[in-house]
Structure 1
């Protein structure tokens, strides 16, 4: 694992794949924290639990099923559309437009995709607020994944097949190392996005991936700088 981009190791890349939350925007913006609170409230209302018990169950579902949604569908048969609508009813104005990131993405040779466990609407609103929506060729969301979230192997398979991507010619950027295990096994280059200065923010211990570091080729706390360094171009 290295923190410095090596242009030679990216020269073969034709498809650039980006997770959304806490990857295309920085951890310290805490946008996902709003979603996290909404999910806790949803679980609390659905099952008539206290906030403390709802949050405990929420994390249990997350760890066992990959996402809270997947766990609620499996155990309680909830309507996924209702869940996705309610938990993504958040204030996107917290995000600041990021023209430097947009410029960094645009200068990459090849296609660019957003690959998220959220839904397309959330991805579009987030990317639009950042000013980078038009810099992507397409979005692969939880609906396209047939409601099976990363890190399920079949979900990566659907993504690659849908867009005709050869995995050895692709790179994936993620904030969760466990979501890089399958891409790494498929031959993709993997880049882990961490909080600025490599320090924790609101994230809790259940979100950590200390056992998945072997899945990571590169790590960075500054996505735009990293992307610019791949083609050896200075950031604006």
Structure 2
């Protein structure tokens, strides 16, 4: 029997395709930047790098490690800061963004502390949050650079990283709710005992490294998803299921 979550849980919110529509223009642009970067890394100066080779690296590392960056670091000696800076160079971010209105009011209606937990780099996620005007609603902003365990980068879906985050903030897993669009991240969180919310409306492309389309068949909720919502705006209506004591 799961323990009820208190009236003031800790919410862990993903950013891209959860709080805004990154699939509209941002993810395609980041994917193009990734392709350019990967092609440059794979280029041996003799044999031209093919699109198939680039796609195999981008998608293969994303599937194997949960992030293309980790594969590029492990197999090609890429420096994380360099990869993140170059792949997230977006010249007109504001024009590329699409988001629902009223997200600030929504976050105010949710009881408890909110933490932004994103596999995106700090500079990019800070700019997105500024354009969304949501920064003041979050007690902490944890970007991929901060997801270190024993000196190694461990972004979502790392259970080691999540467990360390909970210890650092002094919160039990049963008191946390992860709100995400990526099923792999929800699965690892559920295995640690967190409650999980799956946001589905932006799943045309779930990650810059993912193929298109990346939409799960019929959007059937796996057993590790406690609540499925189309939009985070539906969260207040689902509070009773997520927070029985409210």
Q: 2: distance between equivalents of 1:218 and 1:114?
A: 19
- Which residue of 141, 146, 159 maps to 1:153? 159
Judge conservation of contact 1:148–1:155 (CA < 8 Å) in 2. yes
User: Are residue 60 (structure 1) and residue 60 (structure 2) matched?
Assistant: yes
Q: 2: distance between equivalents of 1:72 and 1:19?
A: 23
1:163–1:67 CA distance, 2 compared to 1 (3 A): same
1:46–1:212 CA distance, 2 compared to 1 (3 A): farther
What residue ranges of structure 2 are gaps of 5+ in the alignment?
A: 44-48, 241-246
Q: Which moved more, 1:30-39 or 1:58-67?
A: 30-39
Judge conservation of contact 1:99–1:131 (CA < 8 Å) in 2. no
Q: Which moved more, 1:115-124 or 1:94-103?
A: 94-103
What residue ranges of structure 1 are gaps of 5+ in the alignment?
A: 1-8
Q: 1: distance between equivalents of 2:27 and 2:168?
A: 27
How far 1:117 sits from its partner (Å)? 1.3
- Which residue of 119, 122, 127 maps to 1:120? 122
Q: 2: distance between equivalents of 1:44 and 1:159?
A: 35
1:207–1:219 CA distance, 2 compared to 1 (3 A): same
Q: 2: distance between equivalents of 1:171 and 1:108?
A: 11
TM-score (norm 2): 0.80
Instruction: Give RMSD over aligned pairs.
Output: 2.4
Cα distance per residue 1:86-117 (max 9 Å; x no partner): 11111311214654111101222211011111
Q: 1: distance between equivalents of 2:99 and 2:201?
A: 18
Tell me how many residue pairs correspond in the alignment: 220
User: Are residue 228 (structure 1) and residue 200 (structure 2) matched?
Assistant: no
Which has the larger helix fraction? Answer: 1
Which of the pair has more CA radius of gyration? 2
Cα distance per residue 1:27-47 (max 9 Å; x no partner): 553322221221121101111
TM-score (norm 1): 0.83
How far 1:21 sits from its partner (Å)? 1.2
Q: 1: distance between equivalents of 2:184 and 2:205?
A: 19
